[in-house]
Structure 1
Amino acid sequence: MSQLEQNFQNTLFKLIPQTKNLGIKITKIDEHQITVHGDYALNKNHLNIVFGGSIAAISITTAWSLVQSKIEQAGLKGNLVIKRQEIDYLLPVKTDFECVASFHSADDWERFEKTYQEKGRAKIVVTAQIISEARATSKFQGVFVLYQ
């Protein structure tokens, strides 16, 4: 984990303390993508699979983290919230896993930043997948809004 990932993970746990209980670790932040490692043991349910609520919470957290880290890197000030989300559960998760969140296209961030600077409010769509045993086990899409 580089200093960027460590610093943002500390920020995440400070801004949203509950996320620490999910047993996640930010492993990589790229220009348009973030990867989080998830702990099976901390998120399993009575069926010995990862609890659907954990999958949803980790997907939202990972997607939010991508946008929030970009906001911080760009020096923008405002409040980031989720407006809408949808998730499809494809396969059960029986091991540690990764959640990978990204923007729909490379132009999304630039449009988002420009709109925010012009209007003081902007929205962006982020997708995320839980990957376990080299397979996508869920697909998430969320709309996030930054406002002053």
Structure 2
Amino acid sequence: MPSDTLYLESVLHHDIPLTREMGLKVVDWQQDQLRLHMPLQANINHKSTMFGGSLYCGAVLAGWGWLHLRLREHGIEDGHIVIQEGQISYPLPVTQDATVICAAPEEKVWKRFVATYKRHGRARLALDTWIVNEGSEDRAVTFTGQYVLHR
């Protein structure tokens, strides 16, 4: 596992203990995408599918983790990331282990976010996350989160 993925998993498990109970693992990090793994068994509900609250947490954490790592790569480590707002949709059930994916926003959006933060000490960024059943490309969950970075 590359050092960035180990680093983020350690941060999540230490700073957000719930992630340990959820069995959340950081699978892969590239500048344009973060992938997390969530096991069904640790997040199962009474219908033998993944609990909606776990899916929401996974989606929020993928965006938070993506932003945390991208800021670290750009040498910005003086801010605090919080989720301000989130919109989620559950079009398909998650019936097995899940992969949570957060992708980069457009480059111009990213550059504006960084410039705003450097100028004002506060900036907002919308990130899209989706969740698929392991081995599938069909989006079982879609999420858009509004994240705020502040000093």
Shared fold per TM-score greater than 0.5: yes
Q: Encode CA deviations 1:46-65: one digit per residue, 9 max, x unaligned.
A: 11000011100110011111
Question: Structure 1 residue 103: deviation in Å?
Answer: 2.8
> Are the equivalent residues in 1 in contact too, given 2:31–2:104 (CA < 8 A)?
no
User: What's the TM-score, normalizing by structure 2?
Assistant: 0.93
Matched, 1:118 2:80: no
Superposition map of 1:86-125 within 5 A: 86-125=87-126
For the 8 Å contact 1:37–1:98, the answer to whether it is kept is yes
Structure 2 counterpart of 1:38: 38
Gaps of 5+ in 2: none
**1:9: how far off?**
0.9
Q: How does 1:1-148 map to 2 (within 5 A)?
A: 1-76=1-76, 77-132=78-133, 133-134=135-136, 135-148=138-151
Give the percent of matched residue pairs that are identical in Structure 1 and Structure 2.
Answer: 27
Measured on the aligned residues, the alpha-carbon RMSD in Å equals: 1.2
Residues in 2 aligned to 1:9 and 1:74: alpha-carbon distance in whole angstroms: 19
For residue 11 of structure 2, give the secondary structure of its aligned residue in structure 1: helix
Q: Tell me how far 1:117 sits from its aligned partner.
A: 0.7
Is the CA contact 1:103–1:125 (under 8 Å) kept in the aligned structure 2?
no
Q: Is the 8 A contact 1:87 1:140 kept in 2?
A: yes
Counterparts of 1:74 and 1:86 in 2: how far apart (Å)? Answer: 28
Shift of 1:22: 1.3
Deviations 1:67-99 (A, max 9, x none): 111122222211110111000001111111100
